């Protein structure tokens, strides 16, 4: 019986599929879907609009300009999914404060945008003075 092995193999492969129809909502069953149970959407955690700005500020303020030179500085924000490249950082002293002017791109679900900004060392940390979208 050369075809017997083939029949047994098909039967063994089809056997687990019978459980899909025996547990309810079968092919010919008259079970109804219980629509009395309703669920709502789960609110996601709000993402701060300034999150990307702060990520860029942290990248610019922590950059070692003596090692970076004119190389681009990549950044990424895991909370928004945005990323970009700081293409220029210029450090200067103004009124006793160290400030860094910078240009960056932001790649997000909205597309690619260009920004220029300024951050200054104020007290124990850095403060973002400007972050403006460029045309």
Q: Where in the chain are the domains?
A: 51-134
Predicted local distance difference test score (pLDDT) of residue 57:
95
Predicted local distance difference test score (pLDDT) of residue 27:
58
> How long, in residues, is the chain?
135
The mean pLDDT value of the chain amounts to: 81
CB 75 within 8 A of CB 55: yes
Predicted local distance difference test score (pLDDT) of residue 47:
46
Question: What tokens does 84 get?
Answer: 């970009």
Burial 92-113 (b: 16+ CB within 10 A, else e): eeeeeeebbbbebbbeeeeeeb
pLDDT in tens, the chain (135 residues): 566 667 766 666 666 666 655 555 555 655 666 667 766 665 554 444 568 999 999 999 999 998 988 899 999 999 999 999 999 999 999 788 899 999 999 999 889 999 999 999 988 899 999 999 998
Whether pTM exceeds 0.95: no
């Amino acid at each position: 019986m050369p075809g017997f092995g083939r029949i047994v193999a098909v039967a063994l492969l089809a056997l687990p599929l019978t459980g899909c129809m025996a547990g309810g909502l079968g092919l010919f069953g008259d079970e109804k879907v219980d629509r009395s149970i309703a669920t709502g959407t789960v609110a996601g955690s709000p993402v701060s609009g300034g999150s990307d700005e702060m990520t860029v500020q942290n990248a610019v303020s922590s950059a070692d300009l003596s090692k970076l030179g004119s190389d681009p500085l990549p950044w990424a924000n895991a909370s928004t999914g945005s990323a970009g490249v700081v293409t220029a950082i210029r450090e200067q002293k103004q009124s006793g404060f160290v400030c860094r002017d910078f240009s960056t791109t932001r790649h997000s679900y909205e597309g690619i945008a260009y920004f220029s900004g300024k951050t200054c060392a104020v007290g124990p940390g850095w403060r973002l003075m400007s972050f403006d979208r460029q045309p």
